[in-house]
Structure formats: C-alpha cells, structure tokens
Structure 1
Amino acid sequence: MSLPSQQIIDAMRDMVFVMRVEQNPYRFYYELFNQVAKDVLGFTTATLNQEIEDVNPVTKATVLKNQYMEVVRKQQASAYQDDYFVSSGQKVSESVLTPIITDGIVTHIVAVVRDITAVKYAHEQTLISKKRLELSRQRYKSLFDNNTAPIGYLNLSGELVKMNQALTTLAETIEGEDFSRNLFELLDGDSLAEVRESFYQTSQGKHCSVETDVHTKADHPMHLEIRFIPMRLDYHVHGIYVIIRDLTTEYFAKSALLESEKRFRLIAEHSSDLIQVLDQKQHFSYLSPSHTQRLHYHLDELYQKTFCDITSAAFKAAVQEVLTAISDTPSAVKKEIQLVDALGEARWFECQFESVFDVGVYVHTIVVARDIEERKAYEAELTQLAYQDPLTGLANRRLFNNRLEQIVTQFRREQTSFAVMMLDIDNFKTINDQYGHEVGDAVIVEIARRLQHVLRDVDTVARLGGDEFIILLPALATEAGVYRVIERLEQALQATYRMDDHDLSVGVSIGVVMPTAETCNVKRILNQADRALYEAKRTGKNKTIFHAYDD
C-alpha cells in the first residue's frame, strides 16, 4: 500500500497525519500532515520528522502513543474519540488510524482526525430537548391525573375525551357508573342553556365560567362552578379544558346561616373550606375547625387576630377595601388572595366575602375561603405550555405576537425603530425524508441554538411551527444595523450541520421588514415579513430579502 500524496491529503477537510513507525523501540514521527492540520493545530514544516513526544504535551503524547502502539500490535485499523484544545476552545475529535504494512511490518500509520464537536453538542441538545419535552409531559400528566379538582378535556362537540379521577368520581355521583361522556347530558339542569353559551364562547377563544345546579342519582342537590379554558394551537381552538368546582358547601352555607345557626355550624364544622364570621370590627366571631388543618393555627390564636392580620401583605389593601365596601352596602365579592399560615407560608385561597344586614343595619361578614394552591400550580403549568415551543424551548407564536404588540405600541409612542425577520428552512421535507424525523428535529434544535447565540438578550426568537422561525429585533436605529444582524445570522446558519455522521448543508430563506409608518399594526407587519420570505424562496432560496414597509 503506497503512501498518500501531499496533494491528496491537502484536499481533505479533516486533519490527516502520516506517521512513520520506527522499530525497536517503537517511535512515531510526523512524516506528512495536511493544510487543515496546519490551520487548526499551528503545525509548520519544522514539525516534520519530529516525534510525537516532541510536538505534544506529555499527557496528550501518551494517549496518542498508546493508540498507535495498539494499531502496530494488532496490525489493523482502530478508531477512538478524544478531546483537544485550540484557540477557540475545547474540541471533540474522532480519529481513525489505518496501518500501512510492508513485508508483515507496520511502517506507517495514516491518522484521519475529524472534528465532531458540533455533532456531540447537537446530540446533547437533542437529548436535553427530548428530556424537557418528556418532563413537561410528565408534569402535565401528574397535574391532570392527581389534581383534586375535577378536570376534563372536551372536543368541540362537548364530548369528554379525557377526564381525571376526580371528574370520574363526580360524574358517577351525578349519574352512576354508566354516566354520559357528553358534558351537556351530564350537567342537564335548569342552567343548561347558560352552560352551552359559555362553552360556545370558549370555543371562540374566550375564558368563561358559569354556575349551575344539578341533582345526583340519590336526588341530592349540588351547586357547581364550570370553568372553560380554550386549548389554542396556531390561533385556532382545538379543544376545551373544563375545571369543575363543587360549591355546594359554600352555596348552602350562606343560606343555612340565615336560616339556622345550628345548621350553619353543622356544615361549617364538617367542611374542608375555611368558614369565618367577621364582626363589625373585622375580628373573628366564628372560625370553622378546618383552620387548624389548613393554616396550622390553634383557634384560640386566631380569635385574637383580624382577617387582615393573616392576609399576605400584597393583598391587605385590596381586602380592606372589600371589607369596608360591603359593610356599607349588602353585597358579595369573590377574590383570589394569599393567606399566611402559622408557619409563615403564603397559600392561595379563593375567598367569597358576603355581608349580612338586619333591617338595614350591618351585622357581620361571612367569608368562605377555598384552598386553590393546586389549581394555581396547574394554571401556571398551562400558561408555560401555552407560551413555549416544547421541542426547542423558544417562544411560540402566541408569546411572539404579545411581544410584537408591545414593541408596536412603543414604536407609536416613541418612534423607536425595530425589525421583524421570518425564516424558513429550504427543502426541509427532503431532510426528513432522506435522514428521518429525528435528524430533522435535531436540525431544528441546532438552528434554534445558533439563532439564540447570535441574537441579543432583548431580541425575541420564536418557532412558528414546523421549520419556520420568526425574530423580533427591537431598538435598531437604522437599516445598516439590521443588515449587520442579517450578516451574522447568515454566517451562523450557513455553517455545516453534522448530524448522525452526515454533513448537511442547510439553506435558510429570510424575509425582513422594518416598519416606518406610525400606523403599522401586527397583522400587516407579519403579512409583509411573510411576503418578503416568499420572495426570497421564489427567487432562488437560501437568501435574504429586505422588504420596504408598505403602509
């Protein structure tokens, strides 16, 4: 087997070394290396014919010599991965060592060293993204399945597609084990028309809630609050979450108090909700036993306090305003606030404040406080899911539009220039078809990483779905500044993508618009950015079109 020529190895894009092997004892000398090795490691002609130990640090030389010795002993090719350092930082390489054998003796070893840093990083990022997505799914499933509140997911016909155990138990209480999976049949009562109207409004994108009365299979009355939350995807409602709260205790507790003190205490003392009666000075004149479990206070301690004493500082002023207002006029007010327990921990409660008057004279206030800590955590999780792309961790379309609306408002007020870029991967379907969706997802994750690396902290980059991205660049004074950003983006995106032993050249088309008219609006900006992107793809792809804003 003849040695490769200098011209051949210089044409290779990986680092190539031809090492001469001296016998007894074994020594390894640099006989040839290519231009890439010179560029990356700083080798010169002075390096030729030097031993490994003379060129490399001790630790590195030991590793290399051991690998070469293994090839000499086995007289067969070998591959291994290793780290090395250059001026730009740590790199990861994959080396393939091939022996050249003459008359049964290894005389030379050809080493081809490939930089796989980007591949390793992309693989790690893909694993991180998958782990994030799986963790998000697990959190959502846990919040859904284990929530004590009855929760279900409805299609747009009102059919219960999924329901947690709490909702299953409630449905069985109302209709028995063979309950209907149609929400309107399950909640068939006097307020069904209002339930249907709230459901319809939610299907149009609004959050709605309604209260209704139903009777159980044992003919016991129940008073329920039905809360509908739209599940949006790309501006369209695809389904509806329903959260049901049993307000029977709260509903009947108020009337029971007016009808009979004895009946009121019977309900209050067996309720998990906090039931309180405040006198005219806002001190507690009655506290249900549930305060001990929920707030960890001895009741004797609480009787020495006012309601505002156990209210979190952030809500004291609002609560005081409510208590003052309802003591002047008979009324009921519902507020979500935080109460502080005996351990100093703040917990979320939904409080119903209702004043009681006797012949026009204020007597006291009834407060029913329901622990909503779990619901608040669930709503926070839903909010995160609603604003983040699960694959890349970028903002999604909804969050991007919110931020664009803010920047447009600021532009109208202060004339602070900004730009919007819309990006689309060229021929992305070909990547999926040829290499599989896992590689396609890895390309999307890598593009997201490169975009975030290039852009400023104040910029917003979002994934619109599929292979389409959009960028908001606030506070850019001139078009020249925009072009500088474009140049950095193109340099970052045009670098080779190393995915699963494949070197991919990924083209990206970009459409840019920089609004100049004070009458600009979000819809028109997005339309013009989309037109610029379309023009970039129509006229050859893998290019940027800067569209003059047309009002």
Structure 2
Amino acid sequence: MGIDLRRLADTAFWVYTAGATTSLALAVYAFVNHGGFPSVSGSREWGLSTWEIAVFVMALTLIFGLFFTVPLLRKANLEQAKLTDHAAKLEVEVVTDPLTGLYNRRYFERALGEYIREFSRIKAPLALLTLDLDHFKSVNDTYGHDVGDIVLKELAKRLQQLTREHDIVARTGGEEFCIVAPFSREDQIRPFAERVCRMIAEMRVDVGQVILRPTVSIGVAATSDGIANAAQLLKVSDERLYEAKDKGRNRVVF
C-alpha cells in the first residue's frame, strides 16, 4: 500500500503549526509572568527554564519545518500537479479520436443531443453535415492503411480550418465525419456545405509515390426540416449522404 503523500504533508504541516504555536505560547507565558525577557547574566529564579523550553521548542519546530515539512509540501504539490495534468489528459482522450484529434462519436452523440434540446427550446436553427470519403476502401487496399491514415488526418485538418470555433467536428466512423453547425439557417448552410465539398476536392495529399485527390459526399439535415431529436437528424443526414453517393459522389444533398 503506497504512502498518501498529500495526507502526510498535511499532517507535517499541522505538527509544524502546533510546534510553532506551543513555542510562542511558552514564550508569551515566560514574558508575561516573569516581567520581560531573561537576562543573560541574571538569576534563573523567575522562570528561565520556561523560556529555555520555549526556545528549544521553537528551534526544534524551525528545524522540522525547514528540513521536513517544506520539502514534503513541495513534493506533495508537485505530485498533485502531475495527477491533475494526467486527469486532464485522460478527460481529453475520452472524447477525442486518437488519429485525427477531432471529437469522437461518443462525444458527438452526447453533444448533438444537448444542442438539439437547447436549440429547440430557444427556437434557433441548427444543421448537421454527415461526410463520407469517396472510394476510401480502394485507397486502403491499394496503398495501405498508413496512407489511408494520412488522408484522414489531412481531411481532419481541412475541416478544422473550414469550420467555426463553436461548430462541433467529429470523426464518427472509419471514413465518416460529422459537423454540427449551430445558428445556421438554410441560406447559410447550403453555401457552407458546398464550400466544404469543393475545398476538399481541391486537396492534394502527397504520400510519396503518388498524390491523392480525395473527395467527399455530404448529406445535410437541419432542424428547419421540422426535426426535433438527434436520432432523426442523424437518420435524415445519413439518407441524404447515401443519396449523394448514388448520384455520383463528390456532391452535397440537402
């Protein structure tokens, strides 16, 4: 069983505090009851022994504090800082896709549900874009999964550049991504989705032996369609995504 460094440091601090308080109390007692500080050459009859005890306790407390309490507190604080930093990293990892650095599906589904509930309450528009890389399986089969990973990471960077700070961008599957675009009216989301599709088609991914030119198909659904829950919004955007695939890919369906 490991030592609880924080508890040990707290105990040492209270011991140090008790020692300092005791030595101070003894010094005050000697001073008040015997008429001042003791004389170096004077008699020891008026309670010099009490003063000596106070000085001894004070010295012992000082040594204990300097050589044990302070280093222990510093070590405990450093250990606490490391634990806090580790906890923060774990919290990020829980909601982050390790390959692309985008949000993962777990976070996306939770956030989408919360967004829709709140936006329905305040009657504000919200749109969902579901994107899927075209012919991505052939990339993996022809060039290997390492090359496929490069394409996914480059796509993730492009999506982060194209979206706003309060948009949610997530990797929700192997080659599938979603964007939640709050406060987006139909006249805003249409040109945005088309710009995303066009900008991705303009990408050039240099993987050494060849330059790949990925494209995406996009399905768009919005609360302005009368959709009031996350499951239905996802279903509609998926249906429109597959419609974009059926119509020839590298396009947007609203």
Distance 1:541 1:431 in 2: 16
Distance 1:402 1:346 in 2: 36
The one of 191, 201, 215 aligned to 1:494: 201
2:153 aligned partner? 445
Cα distance, 1:470–1:301 mapped onto 2, change above 3 Å: same
Distance 1:498 1:344 in 2: 50
Distance 2:4 2:158 in 1: 51
Counterpart mapping for 1:31-430 below 5 A: 272=3, 293-294=9-10, 296-297=12-13, 299-301=15-17, 379-430=87-138
Q: CA contact under 8 A between 1:411 and 1:518: conserved in structure 2? A: no
Residue 384 of structure 1 aligns with an amino acid whose one-letter code is V
User: Cα offset for 1:291?
Assistant: 5.2
Residue 144 of structure 2 aligns with an amino acid whose one-letter code is G
Matched, 1:469 2:177: yes
CA deviations on 1:28-64 (whole Å, 9 max, x unpaired) are xxxxxxxxxxxxxxxxxxxxxxxxxxxxxxxxxxxxx
Distance 2:132 2:171 in 1: 10
Cα distance, 1:302–1:474 mapped onto 2, change above 3 Å: farther
Residue 179 of structure 2 aligns with an amino acid whose one-letter code is I
Distance 1:386 1:418 in 2: 25
Identity %: 34
Q: Secondary structure at the match of 2:191?
A: helix
CA deviations on 1:283-333 (whole Å, 9 max, x unpaired) are xxxxxxx8554565151415899xxxxxxxxxxxxxxxxxxxxxxxxxxxx
Name the structure, 1 or 2, with higher relative contact order (CA <8 Å, separation 6+). Answer: 2
Distance 1:296 1:445 in 2: 51
User: Cα offset for 1:512?
Assistant: 0.4
2:245 aligned partner? 537
Residue 455 of structure 1 aligns with an amino acid whose one-letter code is T
TM-score, normalization by structure 2: 0.69
TM-score, normalization by structure 1: 0.33
Q: CA contact under 8 A between 1:292 and 1:298: conserved in structure 2? A: no
Distance 1:390 1:487 in 2: 28
2:213 aligned partner? 505
Cα distance, 1:303–1:405 mapped onto 2, change above 3 Å: farther
1:514 aligned partner? 222
Distance 1:454 1:374 in 2: 35
CA deviations on 1:441-480 (whole Å, 9 max, x unpaired) are 111111111111111111111111211111010111x211
Cα distance, 1:502–1:273 mapped onto 2, change above 3 Å: closer
Q: Secondary structure at the match of 1:527?
A: helix
Q: CA contact under 8 A between 2:170 and 2:177: conserved in structure 1? A: yes
Distance 2:129 2:179 in 1: 5
Distance 1:374 1:504 in 2: 42
Q: CA contact under 8 A between 2:197 and 2:215: conserved in structure 1? A: no
Q: Secondary structure at the match of 1:512?
A: strand
Distance 2:4 2:146 in 1: 50
Q: Secondary structure at the match of 2:120?
A: helix
Cα distance, 1:291–1:379 mapped onto 2, change above 3 Å: closer
Q: Which runs of 5+ in 1 are unaligned?
A: 1-147, 150-271, 275-289, 306-340, 348-370, 547-551
User: Cα offset for 1:482?
Assistant: 0.5
Counterpart mapping for 1:452-463 below 5 A: 452-463=160-171
Residue 506 of structure 1 aligns with an amino acid whose one-letter code is P
Q: CA contact under 8 A between 1:292 and 1:299: conserved in structure 2? A: no
CA deviations on 1:319-369 (whole Å, 9 max, x unpaired) are xxxxxxxxxxxxxxxxxxxxxx9969996xxxxxxxxxxxxxxxxxxxxxx
More strand per residue: 1 or 2?
1
Distance 1:501 1:466 in 2: 24
Distance 2:214 2:177 in 1: 14
The one of 477, 483, 505 aligned to 2:190: 483
Q: Secondary structure at the match of 1:482?
A: helix
Q: Once superposed, which parts of structure 1, at least 4 consecutive aligned residues long, lie more than 4 Å away?
A: 302-305, 341-347, 371-379
Residue 189 of structure 2 aligns with an amino acid whose one-letter code is V
Cα distance, 1:415–1:502 mapped onto 2, change above 3 Å: same
Q: Secondary structure at the match of 2:172?
A: strand
Query: Higher mean Cα deviation, 518-527 or 408-417?
Result: 518-527
Q: Secondary structure at the match of 1:456?
A: coil
More helix per residue: 1 or 2?
2
Cα distance, 1:417–1:431 mapped onto 2, change above 3 Å: same
Cα distance, 1:343–1:493 mapped onto 2, change above 3 Å: same
Count of residues in Structure 1 that have an aligned counterpart in Structure 2: 203
User: Cα offset for 1:520?
Assistant: 0.9
Cα distance, 1:293–1:405 mapped onto 2, change above 3 Å: same
Q: CA contact under 8 A between 1:291 and 1:297: conserved in structure 2? A: no
Q: CA contact under 8 A between 1:421 and 1:529: conserved in structure 2? A: yes
CA deviations on 1:371-425 (whole Å, 9 max, x unpaired) are 9887665544432221001111111111212221232122122111010000111
